[in-house]
Amino acid sequence: MAMEWIEKITGSLEHKKRYREYKARKEQLPENYRAALEALDRYLMYCGGITKGETLVAMIEDLINLFEESAANGTPIRAIVGEDPVEFVETFLRNYEDGRWIDKERRRFVDAIDRIAAHEARLIR
């Protein structure tokens, strides 16, 4: 009971644990992979708009897996992110749209317009 109350205030403790594990794994990467991942982190935190903890944790776990595997194989950073890193990260983010605030707002906007159009259609009949 107390744990539920604490998590309502602080957020999921499981998500926090998984995030700390991600940060520890990131520190184990070679410098160039770690620096690239930190740049990705910064972009995702500012532009990603992820609001669901579970979605955020799943996303960063997928990223760390990608970078760990790439480091183990000696894959160059450009081979991971391509010539356009923004295109890479935006494409990557599309896999996690369920947790983005902008998508919720887009749905809300479309639903509002649909309701208004339906109301207008009933008035015209």
Label residue 60 exposed, middle or buried (CB < 10 Å: 0-12, 13-18, 19+).
buried
Q: What is the pLDDT of residues 39-96, one digit of tens each?
A: 999 988 888 777 778 888 888 999 999 999 999 999 999 999 999 999 999 899 888 7
User: Looking at residue 8, what is its pLDDT?
Assistant: 52
pLDDT in tens, 6-27: 555 556 788 889 999 999 999 9
What's the pLDDT at 101? 66
Q: What is the pTM of this model?
A: 0.73
- Other Cβ atoms less than 10 A from the Cβ of 15: the count is 17
Give ∠ CA 62-53-94 in degrees, rounded to 5.
50
From 21, 17, 96, select the one nearest 59 (Cα to Cα): 96
Cα separation values, 97 from 38, 49, 73, Å = 21, 9, 29
pLDDT at 96: 79
Average pLDDT over residues 105-123: 86
pLDDT of residue 24: 97
The residue extents of the domains of the chain are 2-99
Q: Which CATH architecture has domain 2-99?
A: Orthogonal Bundle (1.10)
